């Protein structure tokens, strides 16, 4: 368990982490990618951490894989690779570094470990969990299998290794509909996100999609009424929702896609005003690359993703902690489900 006081004390002894405006100026190229959303005073505070992380990454032979929900100083400052869950899983199969630092939540680090059992996978804070991943246990999957005999279980990657091991194939928000469509059976069980499953059911009407009733604390909060009221109040805004939102929210929106799908939609269409119905860092991370887009409207913070900070990434590299372990037997079963997804996605060109 991370002891914040010890971490701060030891980091202070080992590194010069005082705000440093001249170092910030030296790294102005990196700042340029976040200057619309991070003020110069904060960048001068982040710069010593970024420099120390750069140095340790080289010394340790480590790479940082960061999810699209990381804050801009992580996303643009220290990440070697950024992406959605599918892209991060694929990248984890390609990196040849000995150490992977996962700037994201625990299930993402576990997926990297499942795909790389011999590598060291670190997560900067073990407490970076996920309400969705916590919502189903292998017994729940067994219960669904008993209710729908013979139906394949398609499990969202937002689950623990045990649930993946109990499933036939995984999916992410960017490939869920295609994976379900590719299943041979007429009935397909989706776990654990009821809303992703309901959104997929609309896209794949030829299948009888049944689901586990889990949900994400970030996306379940939005309602169609919020979207409609916002549209009335700020006409002309393109509203873009993650498929973990309830179907009524997705229906009321202009587009729905994975975190990378959302980035692509906004980048390709450059709407004058955009509301991203998802986690707050999404808009921050693309704001500088899209100066013509005004990001408006509310967003919700994921308290788990926000547990990952520059300070904890530095500590993680410095102490080689906290290491993610997966039971080898569970890991090899889970790997089958994740690799099936990756192979099928590549075959389908996703």
Residues that bind ligand SF4 (CB under 6 A): 105, 130-132, 158, 216-218, 244, 279, 302, 304-305
Q: How far apart are CA 237 and CA 240, in angstroms?
A: 9
47 versus 92: smaller Cβ distance to ligand SF4: 92
Partner touching 160 among ligand SF4, ligand 13P, none, CB below 5 to 8 Å by kind: none
User: E-strand spans in 198-237?
Assistant: 208-211
Give the pair of three-digit tokens for residue 98.
């000995």
Among 194, 215, 253, 259, binds ligand 13P (CB under 6 A): 259
Give the pair of three-digit tokens for residue 44.
């001068």
102: contact with ligand 13P by CB under 6 A: no
Q: How far apart are CA 237 and CA 226, in angstroms?
A: 13
Reference 56, options 259, 251, 321, 274; nearest CA is: 321
C-alpha torsion sign, points 32, 37, 43, 46: negative
Partner touching 68 among ligand 13P, ligand SF4, none, CB below 5 to 8 Å by kind: ligand 13P
Partner touching 304 among ligand SF4, ligand 13P, none, CB below 5 to 8 Å by kind: ligand SF4
Among 172, 175, 215, 256, binds ligand 13P (CB under 6 A): 172
Give the pair of three-digit tokens for residue 170.
């995984």
For the CB of residue 87, give the shortest distance to ligand 13P in the complex, in Å: 8
Partner touching 166 among ligand SF4, ligand 13P, none, CB below 5 to 8 Å by kind: none
> Backbone phi, then psi, for 170, in 5-degree steps?
-100, 170
253: contact with ligand 13P by CB under 6 A: no
Partner touching 217 among ligand 13P, ligand SF4, none, CB below 5 to 8 Å by kind: ligand SF4
14 versus 217: smaller Cβ distance to ligand SF4: 217
Partner touching 131 among ligand SF4, ligand 13P, none, CB below 5 to 8 Å by kind: ligand SF4
84: contact with ligand 13P by CB under 6 A: yes
User: CB–CB of 75/282 below 8 Å?
Assistant: no
284: contact with ligand 13P by CB under 6 A: no
72 versus 214: smaller Cβ distance to ligand SF4: 214
Beta strand 273-277 pairing with 294-295: parallel
Q: How far apart are CA 148 and CA 38, in angstroms?
A: 50
Chain-centre distance for alpha carbon 93: 17
């Amino acid at each position: 368990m991370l002891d914040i006081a010890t971490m701060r004390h030891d980091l202070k002894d080992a590194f010069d982490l005082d705000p440093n405006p001249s170092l910030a100026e030296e790294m102005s190229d990196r700042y340029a990618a976040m200057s619309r959303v991070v003020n110069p005073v904060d960048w001068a505070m982040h710069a010593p951490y970024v420099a120390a992380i750069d140095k340790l990454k080289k010394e340790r032979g480590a790479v940082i894989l960061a999810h699209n929900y990381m804050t801009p100083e992580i996303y643009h400052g220290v990440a070697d690779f950024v992406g959605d869950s599918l892209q991060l899983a694929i990248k984890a199969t390609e990196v040849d570094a000995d150490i992977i630092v996962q700037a994201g939540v625990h299930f993402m680090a576990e997926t990297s470990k499942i795909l790389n059992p011999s590598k060291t996978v670190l997560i900067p804070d073990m407490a970076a969990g996920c309400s969705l991943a916590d919502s189903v246990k292998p017994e729940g999957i067994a219960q669904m299998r008993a209710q729908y005999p013979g139906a394949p279980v398609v499990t969202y990657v937002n689950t623990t290794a045990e649930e993946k091991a109990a499933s036939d194939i995984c999916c992410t928000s960017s490939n869920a509909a295609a994976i379900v469509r590719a299943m041979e059976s007429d009935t397909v069980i989706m776990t654990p996100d009821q809303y992703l499953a309901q959104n997929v059911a609309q896209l794949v009407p030829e299948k009888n999609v049944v689901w586990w009733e889990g949900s994400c604390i970030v996306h379940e909060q939005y309602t169609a009424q919020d979207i409609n009221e916002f549209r009335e109040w700020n006409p002309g805004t393109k509203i873009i929702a993650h498929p973990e939102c309830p179907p009524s929210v997705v229906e009321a929106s202009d587009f729905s896609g994975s975190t990378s799908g959302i980035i692509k939609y906004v980048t390709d269409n450059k709407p004058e005003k955009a509301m991203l119905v998802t986690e707050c860092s999404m808009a921050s991370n693309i704001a500088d690359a899209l100066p013509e887009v005004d990001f408006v409207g509310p967003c919700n913070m994921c308290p788990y993703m926000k547990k990952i900070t520059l300070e904890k990434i530095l500590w993680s590299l410095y102490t080689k902690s906290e290491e993610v372990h997966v039971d080898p037997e569970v890991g090899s079963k889970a790997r089958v489900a994740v690799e099936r997804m990756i192979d099928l996605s590549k075959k389908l060109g996703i």
